[in-house]
Amino acid sequence: MQLFQLVSDDFFKPLTGKYKHIYIDCLEIIYNTYKTELSFGVDKEVIMSKLVEYFDEVSTEEMVFEEDDQSISNSREKANRILRTLKNCNWIEDEVANDYLVRVNLFDHAATIIESFQKIIKNEEMEYQSVLSQIHGTLNNKAAYIKPYEYIIKRVSENTEELIIGLKKLNTMIKKRIDAITRDKTAAEIVEDFFVYQKDIGSKAYHRIKTSDNISHFRLSIIEKLRGILEDEEMWNKALDGFIEIEQVNDRLQADELLKGKVMYMISSFNNFDDIIDEIDLKNTKYISSAIARAQFLLSNSSNMEGKIKQILSFLADEFNKDDIINLNEESDGIFLDVFDIFPQNFIDGDSIYLMPITRKFEIPKVLDQPLGLSQDERNLMKIKIQEKNKRRFSKNNINQFVLKALNNNKSILASTLPLKDKRDLIRIIFISLYGRDKSSKYYIEPLNEQTNINGFKFSDFKIIRGDNDGDI
């Protein structure tokens, strides 16, 4: 059965017009009104009073509906028009009760879609541990094996599907963050977005799935139990009988194939779980690298190479963006073309169609007056420069040394107590936050829900705590 065999062709029409945000609000009001009822049916006057209150307080703008093209400002009239449109588009229906009161019923498919809207808005994060423990607990419940399909396979299948969908959502969420970081943003916005990411994803969903919600705690036991159901002939026949009854499949051979496919899908999902986690790891690393690289580029000093390139590109972008309707195919000012000297390079090699002349003149090469390579003094000077450069790098070793020195004899300090005078200090704090999540570091961090602003630099504060492995680096 297809969707538009269940709903009208105009079902989504209220959500496509200029009042779509009003219709969404009204649908949420209607849905929430049903929560205290025994069914999706409520006295029409109760719904009307809720909608009138909404239009009186929130949406006071005049509305023009397509039916009569008249401007309406009265709140009750607006509520009436909204309910009429939702009824025509198969969201609700009117029902006259035994007491002659009109009740507004919300269709089941409409309730399901509104629930989805609310989940999207709330963006609630899945508790992977609870879903995994439900799967594990169901498979280990001996009393449930009296009806293997109804009490075990069906529930485990639903929970497995929910788990995989939750992981895919997390994967997509990280991808959306990566896409967002590639758009035009200032350095301050990138740093702010980075700390939001660490709070909402890095320190919550991603961190838990690598620690407390790790599937490794249950996977072997879950796969073993599922394989046991497949291999136990008596139990499998019970499960097959339940599947035929519940799913109404008349052909037993077809039912056997479908049920085996369902169980094998669950086993395959848990076996391939690592592949999803690896992709999430890759995208998480890619996001962090992109954020740091872009922030470093935008914060580059104009005296170094990156800073100069940034200034050139910013200048060119400003010049080209002065005219919104500029035609890039037209001849540009020569000053822009001279910035990048692009020309074809030709050379002759063994695959060239040009015949290379063979010279018969041989000469003994002359002895060089100057020795090749660097002198010892030059080598020592180069070595000193490299050492100084390495000291300024934000490597894990340098960050660990800096943190241990900052901690001194203290067990912990706040990130806001560290020096923060310029952009380089800000980048160091970002790297301290990054390396603090690595188990091999000499310290670890504890995020705090506190915003701090020091010398114009705003970030979420966190605690830096000395680790157990804080020996000599």
CA–CA separation, 194 and 177 (whole Å): 9
Closest by CA position to 131, among listed 217, 203, 202: 217
Q: Is the pLDDT of residue 125 over 80?
A: no
Amino acid 16: pLDDT: 87
Amino acid 348: pLDDT: 57
Specify which of 1-15, 28-42, 168-182, 305-319 reaches the highest per-range mean pLDDT: 1-15
Q: Which CATH class is domain 3-120?
A: mainly alpha
CA–CA separation, 111 and 31 (whole Å): 7
Q: Is the pLDDT of residue 243 over 60?
A: yes
Amino acid 131: pLDDT: 80
Average pLDDT over residues 92-102: 78
Tens of pLDDT along 132-159? 778 888 888 888 888 888 889 999 998 8
Amino acid 129: pLDDT: 66
8-state DSSP, 417: G
Reported as a pLDDT band with limits 50, 70 and 90, residue 316 is low
What is the dihedral sign for C-alpha 307, 310, 314, 316? positive
> Which residue ranges make up each domain of the chain?
3-120, 125-287, 387-466
CA–CA separation, 122 and 248 (whole Å): 37
Alpha helices in 340-395 (DSSP H): 376-392
Closest by CA position to 78, among listed 29, 114, 132: 29
Q: Is the pLDDT of residue 266 over 80?
A: yes
DSSP 159-183: HHHHHHHHHHHHHHHHHHHHHHHTS
Amino acid 72: pLDDT: 83
Reported as a pLDDT band with limits 50, 70 and 90, residue 334 is low
Of 127-131, 290-294, 342-346, give the lowest mean pLDDT range. 342-346
Reported as a pLDDT band with limits 50, 70 and 90, residue 464 is very high
Of 38-42, 71-75, 363-367, 417-421, give the lowest mean pLDDT range. 38-42
Q: Is the pLDDT of residue 374 over 80?
A: no
Q: What percent of the chain has pLDDT over 90?
A: 4
Instruction: State both tokens at 222.
Output: 């879950």
Q: Provide the 10 A C-beta neighbour count for residue 96.
A: 9
Beta bridge partners of 457: 454
Tens of pLDDT along 362-371? 677 777 666 6
Amino acid 295: pLDDT: 64
Amino acid 470: pLDDT: 59
Helix (H) or strand (E) holding 42: strand 41-43
Q: Which residue has the tokens 């030709």?
A: 346
Average pLDDT over residues 39-47: 77
Amino acid 413: pLDDT: 92
Tens of pLDDT along 399-447? 888 999 899 888 999 998 998 888 888 888 888 888 888 878 888 888 8
Amino acid 264: pLDDT: 92
3-state DSSP percent of the chain in helix, strand and coil, to 5: 60, 10, 30
Amino acid 126: pLDDT: 58
Tens of pLDDT along 183-194? 666 666 666 666
